A = this chain, B = another copy of it.
Amino acid sequence: MAHYKLAFLGFGNVGKALAGLLIRKRLELEHEYDLTFSVTGITTSRHGQAVNLDGIDLEQALKVSDFSNLSKSPSESDVYQFIDQTNADVLFENTPVNYQTGQPAVDHLKYALERNMHAITANKGPVAHAYRMLTDLASQKERKFYFESTVMDGAPIFSLFRDTLPAARLRSFRGILNSTTNMILTRMEQGESFDQAVSYCQKIGIAETDPSGDVDGWDAAVKVAVLVNVLMDFRLKPEDVDRQGIREITQDDVSRALKDGKRWKLVCTAVRDGERIRTKVAPEMVTSNSILYTVDGTSSIVIFETDVLSSLSIVEANPSPHTTAYGLLADFLNAVKS
């Protein structure tokens, strides 16, 4: 029976959902995956941090508002000291995304890998900005840098290509990858104004106070960069994506389209073109014959064209922090199986 020490960097909705999932799956992991785990560290931005090499009580961690009560470590330390103190086998990095540079998450993941930890993240920033460096480092350390939850929550996208599509060459993809804009467009179809729809998304917790990361297409562009870097083996930065958000789509545009049996969607595309890859994020009007038409609310889709399967789509509906947490759990189980 293998035992793994886990550390959590960030303990927001996703971190908490992962803790809940680990509790729920504890016996199953023991019986079917022959492994046990303990959480030796949790650090949060606003509620302090806990380090306990005997294992933090996860049920308690889900209840308290001050983590220092759970800690056996004397005092607050910086993230690097925290990573060292946890003595973990696996670091789960779940801090907010930095679209521009991926920092400081890049440095934190690098530090964990250098200390022979598997580095697992739901944060797109480090993948968009430092995929090659972190993957090479992981490989050199015989550890894994995995990030299944960065695109389409916990739906298998990276593991799909890694483990189920050997010898397949990705030629292009097309999809709806940003839940917030998709929900905004869906609400506008129901008669809300853009601002009302944004407020709704803020209320249900899928849009930030400043919604521009979603609305201006940055989140989608970062996901395009992630997919292109990882699945098409091509270095592309988010700012290289031809990007247009949904601010110019009016309520009137949306309802006129709907009357014609069409819907506006923020569509991501990437297409190999010789040595280049053309990428784009832009609103598109799709007809009811398009599979994109049926992907509404917070659902997402990606359609892959490969040299061996001409059209393979993955669709995820009803995502939540629990779905994202599952991607992290899957990464953990896949990292330690190999």
Contacts from A to B (Cβ < 8 Å): 21, 25, 28-29, 32-33, 153-156, 159-160, 163-168, 261, 288-291, 293-296, 299, 303, 308-318, 322-323, 326, 329-330, 333-334, 337
CB distance from A163 to the nearest CB of B (A): 4
Whether B309 contacts A155 by the Cβ 8 Å rule is yes
**B166 x A163 contact (CB < 8 A):** no
Q: How far is it, in angstroms, between the C-alpha of A165 and the C-alpha of B313 when the chains are bound?
A: 17
Within the oligomer, what is the number of copies of this chain?
Answer: 2
Residues B310 and A318 in contact, CB atoms below 8 Å apart: yes
Chain B nearest Cβ from A3, distance in angstroms: 17
A155 cross-chain contacts in B, Cβ below 8 A: 309, 312
Q: Lowest 3 CB-CB distances: which A-B pairs, in order?
A: A156-B164, A311-B317, A163-B163
Contact (Cβ within 8 A) A330 B33: no
Closest to A24 in B: B307
Q: Which of A261, A315, A329, A333 has the most CB of B within 10 A?
A: A315
Which residues on B sit within 8 Å (CB–CB) of A29?
A: 167
In the complex the two chains form, is B293's CB within 8 Å of A310's CB?
A: no
Given A160-B156, A294-B291, A294-B293, the answer on whether A167 and B311 have CB atoms closer than 8 Å is: no
Q: In whole angstroms, what is the CA distance A224 to B181 when docked?
A: 36
Q: Which residues of B contact A317 (CB under 8 A)?
A: 310-311, 313
Contact A166 B311 (CB under 8 A): no
Cβ–Cβ contact B167 & A159, under 8 A: no
